[in-house]
Structure 1
Amino acid sequence: MIERVQTGVRLERRLLKVLKGLAELKDMSLGDLLEGIVLHAFEGKAPFDADTLKAVDDLKRVYGLDLTAADSHKLKENTHDR
């Protein structure tokens, strides 16, 4: 048994849209998808198979997400839009 808690995590808008789209495609909640991604990452395992990665690429194109892992520690937030 586990205990889940509500959290107020801020994410880049397009990234969130891709994640929500993928969760919908997989018929799972966003929280379940994120838990799976993180648990795989903690073990150094890839969370997605080739078909899922294709779906991610498609969703990235739809939502204009051009960020990569190389961008992850260099993101600057526009604080004027809050």
Structure 2
Amino acid sequence: METIERVQTGVRLEKRLLKVLKGLAELKDISLGDLLEGMALHAFEGKCPFGPETIAQIDQLKQVYGLTLSAESSHRLTERE
């Protein structure tokens, strides 16, 4: 175990994406912060943070919350005024 220091941050996320992330954190019984930390650390090493079962759960959550965005979308997002 490593001892770390966490800080509170004000991050803005797309509404449906946040719902999927919160739903996934709930399914995994972890906090949203822990989920995001794990995803970022895996991404920094070029690794996928999720196995096939979790990806299937994510796909279901995306359908429930109407999330149609993809990785390609990330460079083309504009915020509604």
What range describes the TM-score normalised by the shorter chain of this pair?
Answer: over 0.9
TM-score by structure 1 length?
A: 0.95
TM-score by structure 2 length?
A: 0.97
Q: C-alpha root-mean-square deviation of aligned residues, in Å?
A: 0.3
Partner SS for 1:40: helix
Cα distance in 2 between the residues matched to 1:31 and 1:50: 22
Q: Which residues of structure 2 form unaligned runs of 5+? A: none
Cα distance in 1 between the residues matched to 2:35 and 2:47: 15
> How many aligned positions are there?
79
Alignment correspondent of 1:24: 26
1:78 deviation in Å? 0.5
Cα distance in 1 between the residues matched to 2:67 and 2:29: 22
Cα distance in 2 between the residues matched to 1:78 and 1:36: 30
Question: After the TM superposition, which segments of 4 or more aligned residues of structure 1 sit over 3 Å from their partners?
Answer: none
1:66 deviation in Å? 0.1
- 61, 64, 70: which one pairs with 1:62? 64
The code of the aligned residue for 2:19 comes to: K
Q: Is the counterpart of residue 13 in structure 1 residue 15 in structure 2?
A: yes
Cα distance in 2 between the residues matched to 1:18 and 1:64: 9
1:10 deviation in Å? 0.1
